[in-house]
Amino acid sequence: MEQAGLSYEAATPYPWGMKAHCLCGNLSADIADDAQAMTVLCHCKDCQRRSGSPFGTVAYFPAEAVTLSGEAREYTRTTDSGAHFTNGFCPQCGSTLYAKAEKYPGILGITVGAMADPAFPPPARSVYEQSRHHWVILPDTMPRHPRGRDS
């Protein structure tokens, strides 16, 4: 299935309720039961700084499957391909909750950490391995890319 240019071939059905919220709980996301996640793990330095963690992991859903509640602020950066990428975060506690890429307006990303669910399906791919912290070891079955998914 191809939606707004993103491939959902590796999507994993997730038949139980998906919810995400920031650390203080003021900003949250409810995700439709039948929505399928296409999750990307990114080791780029921007994701490292944005998340405060050695990598960022975002699950992308059709935007209409996600309902956001609460106040958010947004920060938009330019990626190294020149596209704009926006993160939404809670102005109270600073947790990043969502992400959207200018070139995929029909898709909304939710940070996997904000779901705080250890059973959430693994990422479909790992990108920007060129700046992967050396001790981060991923399953051999996960597709890996030195930069973006076309690299």
Nearer to Zn ion, 17 or 93 (CB): 93
Strand runs labelled E in the chain: 2-3, 6-7, 18-21, 28-31, 38-42, 56-62, 66-69, 73-78, 84-89, 96-101, 107-111, 125-127
Minimal distance in Å, beta carbon 34 to Zn ion? 28
Rounded distance between C-alpha atoms, residue 117 and residue 19, angstroms? 9
Binding site for Zn ion (CB under 5 A): 22, 24, 26, 42, 44, 47, 90, 92-93
Contact between 70 and 91 under an 8 Å Cβ cutoff? The reply is no
Minimal distance in Å, beta carbon 128 to Zn ion? 5
In angstroms, what CA-CA distances link 46 with 3, 79, 125? 26, 9, 18
Minimal distance in Å, beta carbon 21 to Zn ion? 8
Residue of 50, 1, 40 lying closest to 124 (CA atoms)? 40
Rounded distance between C-alpha atoms, residue 43 and residue 67, angstroms? 27
Minimal distance in Å, beta carbon 124 to Zn ion? 15
Minimal distance in Å, beta carbon 40 to Zn ion? 8
Nearer to Zn ion, 3 or 92 (CB): 92
